[in-house]
């Protein structure tokens, strides 16, 4: 059967199906990427020294922003399917603003991390926060004890063997993964922001209709996915980290 055998409506429906399928493949690829990162994270935790880092408060603001933005993105898609073309751009603009709030909050969270000695590449002893509140150092899953400026294993009751010399040689792998996970998510979100800009422009031109909104559907699904992915990462960092 040649392309000429299809009606214009059939060709449009076929293009929509292809676009939706491509979107699903992209989301699956991203899931596999982050599954690999989080798996490597868990493996790294299993041996040697590890720093438990408290999740910065701005990341909570990020979560609220992206969750609410997802609601407005869905409202934009609903407006399209209902033929309310005038409301689509308004909802997308709100989504875009909340996406920018999320981005700002991420940078604030990274700023808080670095202010306490956690960098993309740093050492365990670079931490400057309050021990037990901002961070905790573990050895093979067991929290170390800090007395004065010296770390000890809890089994070292006599405090005869301080571990600082050993810790001074240890990389803060936890901090590196923290930045890698959140940075990778933000990189994907920046693509989402660019997509929102394109969708806003198309919405202002009345390009989305109840029967032709595949591009909007793909953009909204991608945005929903970013929100769900961030919530997963946050829960991972809070409860697994």
CATH number at residue 183: 1.20.120.80
Whether 168 maps to a domain, the answer reads: no
| Model pTM score | 0.91
Whether 41 maps to a domain, the answer reads: yes
Domain of 38, in residue numbers: 3-46+57-121+173-240
Q: Provide the domain count of the chain.
A: 1
Q: For residue 1, what pLDDT is reported? A: 45
Mean pLDDT to the nearest integer, 228-232? 97
CA angle (185 as vertex; 222, 74 as ends), nearest 5: 25
111-127 pLDDT, tens digit per residue, is 999 999 999 999 999 99
Distances (CA, A) of 165 to 27, 152, 161, 173, 176: 45, 11, 10, 17, 21
CA distance 154 to 39: 29
181-195 pLDDT, tens digit per residue, is 999 999 999 999 999
Query: What is the overall mean pLDDT for the chain?
Result: 92
Whether 203 maps to a domain, the answer reads: yes
Dihedral sign for Cα 102, 181, 39, 47, please.
negative
Whether 159 maps to a domain, the answer reads: no
Whether 115 maps to a domain, the answer reads: yes
Whether 141 maps to a domain, the answer reads: no
CA distance 198 to 192: 10
Whether 163 maps to a domain, the answer reads: no
123-174 pLDDT, tens digit per residue, is 999 998 899 999 999 998 899 999 999 999 999 999 999 999 999 999 999 9
Cβ atoms of residues 59 and 153 within 8 Å: no
| Better-scored residue on pLDDT, 45 or 225 | 225
79-97 pLDDT, tens digit per residue, is 999 999 999 999 999 999 9
Whether 66 maps to a domain, the answer reads: yes
């Amino acid at each position: 059967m040649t392309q000429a055998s299809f009606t214009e409506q059939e060709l449009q429906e076929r293009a929509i199906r292809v676009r939706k399928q491509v979107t699903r493949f992209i989301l699956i690829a991203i899931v596999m990427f982050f599954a690999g990162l989080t798996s490597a994270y868990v493996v790294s935790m299993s041996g040697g020294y590890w720093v438990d880092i408290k999740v910065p408060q701005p990341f909570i603001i990020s979560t609220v922003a992206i969750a609410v933005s997802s609601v407005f993105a869905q409202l934009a898609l609903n407006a399209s399917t209902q033929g309310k073309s005038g409301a689509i751009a308004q909802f997308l603009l709100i989504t875009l603003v909340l996406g920018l709030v999320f981005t700002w909050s991420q940078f604030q969270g990274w700023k808080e991390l670095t202010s306490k000695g956690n960098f993309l590449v740093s050492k365990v002893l670079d931490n400057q926060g309050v021990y037990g509140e901002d961070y905790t150092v573990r050895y093979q899953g067991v929290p170390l004890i800090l007395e004065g400026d010296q770390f000890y294993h809890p089994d070292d009751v006599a405090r005869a063997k301080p571990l600082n010399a050993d810790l001074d040689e240890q990389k803060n792998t936890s901090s590196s993964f923290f930045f890698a996970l959140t940075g990778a998510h933000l990189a994907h979100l920046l693509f989402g922001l660019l997509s929102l800009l394109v969708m806003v422009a198309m919405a202002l031109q009345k390009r989305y209709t109840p029967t032709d909104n595949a591009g909007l559907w793909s953009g909204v699904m991608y945005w929903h996915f970013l929100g769900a992915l961030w919530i997963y990462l946050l829960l991972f960092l809070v409860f697994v980290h």
